[in-house]
Amino acid sequence: MEKKLENQVAIITGASSGIGEACAKGLAEAGASVVVNYPVPAAKPMADDVVNAITSAGNTAISYQCDVSKEDEVIKMFTDTIAKFGTVDILINNAGLQRDSPFVDMSLEKWNYVLSVNLTGQFLCAREAIREFLKRGVDEKRSKAAGKIICMSSVHEVIPWAGHANYAASKGGIMLMMKTIAQEYAFKKIRINSIAPGAIQTPINKDAWDTSAHLQNLLKLIPEKRIGQPEDIAKAAVWLASDDSDYVNGTTLFVDGGMTLYPGFVDNG
């Protein structure tokens, strides 16, 4: 297989499970040295399993603990990564979580917690990444771009979601943060895009697919009639990180089996 990300270094946040894990494996397979980020000591064994899978396949990875909502920890993760690997070429801003609640009962703590990880975490990591991209500039031996950022958004950057106002607000916020910084730094050859997954089978949405009744209900929302797999997202992430997408900047790629096609209208509404 052609190693489209050879000689490049990638940080993938929230990479000890789900979509982040698949992206870490996909980018490593494409030749990148990857930092498998996890938030708390309890997640270290899972992150180390991901690292072991990557290194046993002959590729390069390390695990790294950092809570993306903490400024000092994010700065340290970038400083340590640059000290170890020389630079950072790719950031997959993937870490995210849900704390659902009817809106009228939503505590400020739940609101702030989701926003601090899903949106502020992406801001902090993107800022450190762009600082490094600007310092290094383009190195044609690595990539046509000075750096690439992929923000993990959601179909809920456009689909309202009752009972999940904090989550939907965080994803809507990611959309305009991504577009704004893409506009701000395109002239420096920095590419910033989002992936908006539909329903992907991971721990975050286990309640939606853990029984066949739940799964059948979910499939009503998906024209392709299958739940997505983390690898569906990883393939899109590898493409967006590679020079194959060199002219793609400031856009959201929906990888959702058609979830955003208003499936309720298939029989004319």
Nearest approach, Cβ of 163 to ligand NAD (angstroms)?
A: 15
Read off the DSSP letter of residue 99: -
**How many binding residues for ligand NAD (CB under 6 A)?**
29
| Three-state SS at 100 | coil
- Draw the binding track, 156-195, toward ligand NAD (x: CB under 6 A; -: no contact): ----------------------------------------
Q: Which of 199, 236, 240, 255 binds ligand NAD (CB under 6 A)?
A: 199
Does 154 help bind ligand NAD (rule: CB under 6 A)? yes
Q: Is the dihedral of CA 84, 119, 194, 156 positive or negative?
A: positive
Does 203 help bind ligand NAD (rule: CB under 6 A)? yes
Neighbour count for residue 125 (Cβ, 10 Å): 26
Does 209 help bind ligand NAD (rule: CB under 6 A)? no
Given a contact cutoff of 8 angstroms between Cβ atoms, the answer to whether 237 and 195 are in contact is: yes
Does 9 help bind ligand NAD (rule: CB under 6 A)? no
Nearest alpha-carbon partner for 91 in 190, 174, 13: 13
Of all helices (H) and strands (E), which one includes residue 82? helix 71-85
By residue count, the chain amounts to 269
Of 11-19, 24-32, 51-59, 126-134: span binding ligand NAD (CB under 6 A) = 11-19
Nearest approach, Cβ of 137 to ligand NAD (angstroms)?
A: 29
Does 218 help bind ligand NAD (rule: CB under 6 A)? no
Given a contact cutoff of 8 angstroms between Cβ atoms, the answer to whether 122 and 73 are in contact is: no
Using the minimum distance from each CB to ligand NAD, give the nearer residue, 9 or 227.
227
Structure tokens at 266: 């298939």
- Draw the binding track, 51-90, toward ligand NAD (x: CB under 6 A; -: no contact): ----------------xxx---------------------
CA distance 269 to 264: 6
What is the rounded radius of gyration, in angstroms, for the C-alpha atoms of the chain? 18
CA distance 224 to 243: 29
Nearest approach, Cβ of 201 to ligand NAD (angstroms)?
A: 7
Nearest approach, Cβ of 69 to ligand NAD (angstroms)?
A: 5
Which positions touch ligand NAD (CB under 6 A)?
13-14, 16-20, 37-39, 43, 67-69, 94-97, 117, 121, 152, 154, 197, 199-200, 202-205
